[in-house]
């Protein structure tokens, strides 16, 4: 059992009847997602409440849950109900989503003045300067568009998709192929008689330089890259 003083409320309403339990926030969320968590590491008490704050215990449990087993009832409340989030967990979610949003902008957008991606730290500083608020309840993908609009007055941003042609010499072609597939959509793939590889790749603009650096490492600089189209 976890410390009651550190527990939060998980609740489920069935036909206007309220059922509440005390749980560890993070472990309850893991259990809700289907992770393998011992119930003892989730519950602060085996009691099922009608109202935790008032200390009112729930009654007629079998009528609503088809069982009197409080552990089984607690699992159903966690799996089907709502779990209160601690302020610490909300901050953890915001931090994770901020990192993801920065990564999306860095990977998919470029500075239109030079065609290069903005460094991660520059994006993070701009988010601080514009007092961007991260919503812990929305996905990073849902928030990116609005955040970019807030950043644009101080950080020029342009979303770009590029089609690039890449030629890799035969001795490095096999090693490079999986890397190419990870970075973009393969539009064309040709293997030369000498074993060399020629591909046309569709890639987010912000990832072009990163991909080129990776290929240069693999091929010891023996790679040719040409931009075919930008949109």
Return the domain boundaries, the chain: 4-83, 87-158, 161-230
pLDDT over 90 (residue 222) = no
pLDDT over 90 (residue 21) = yes
What's the CA gap between 74 and 223, in Å, rounded? Answer: 59
Query: Is the domain covering 87-158 a CATH 3.40.50.300 domain?
Result: no
Fold of 4-83: 3.30.1250
Q: What is the mean pLDDT of residues 36-57?
A: 96
Q: Where are the beta strands (DSSP E) in 45-184?
A: 49-51, 56-57, 82-83, 109-110, 158-159, 161-168
Fold of 161-230: Alpha-Beta Plaits (3.30.70)
Identify the pLDDT of residue 1: 87
Residues 6+ positions from 228 with CB-CB distance below 8 Å: 162, 163, 164, 165, 200
Which tens digits make up the pLDDT trace of 66-122? 999 999 999 999 999 999 999 999 999 999 999 999 999 999 999 999 999 999 999
CA-atom Rg of the chain in angstroms: 26
**Biggest alpha carbon distance in the chain?**
79
Q: What is the mean pLDDT of residues 24-29?
A: 96
What's the CA gap between 82 and 64, in Å, rounded? Answer: 17
Identify the pLDDT of residue 35: 96
What's the CA gap between 202 and 213, in Å, rounded? Answer: 17
Strands laid side by side in the 82-83 sheet = 56-57, 49-51, 17-23, 8-14, 82-83
Judge whether 4-83 and 87-158 match in fold. no
Strands laid side by side in the 185-191 sheet = 185-191, 197-204, 161-168, 223-230
Which tens digits make up the pLDDT trace of 150-209? 999 999 999 899 999 999 999 999 999 999 999 999 999 999 999 999 999 999 999 999
């Amino acid at each position: 059992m976890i410390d009651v003083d550190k527990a939060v409320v998980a609740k489920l309403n069935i036909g206007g009847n309220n059922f509440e339990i005390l749980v560890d926030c993070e472990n309850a969320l893991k259990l809700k997602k289907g992770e393998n968590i011992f119930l003892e590491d989730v519950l602060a008490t085996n009691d099922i409440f009608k109202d935790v704050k008032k200390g009112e215990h729930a009654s007629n449990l079998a009528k609503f849950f088809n069982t009197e087993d409080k552990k089984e009832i607690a699992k159903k409340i966690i799996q089907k109900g709502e779990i209160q989030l601690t302020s610490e967990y909300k901050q953890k979610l915001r931090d994770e989503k901020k990192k993801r949003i920065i990564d999306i902008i860095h990977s998919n957008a470029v500075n239109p003045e030079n065609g290069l991606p903005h460094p991660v730290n520059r994006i993070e500083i701009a988010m601080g300067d514009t007092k961007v608020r991260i919503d812990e309840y929305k996905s990073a993908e849902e928030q990116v568009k609005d955040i970019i609009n807030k950043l644009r007055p101080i950080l020029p941003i342009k979303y770009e998709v590029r089609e690039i042609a890449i030629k890799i010499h035969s001795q490095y072609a096999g090693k490079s192929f999986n890397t190419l597939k990870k970075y973009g959509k393969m539009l064309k793939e040709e293997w030369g008689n000498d074993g060399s590889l020629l591909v046309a790749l569709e890639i987010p603009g912000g990832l072009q330089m990163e991909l080129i650096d990776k290929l240069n490492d693999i091929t010891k600089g023996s790679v040719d890259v040409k931009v075919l189209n930008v949109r």
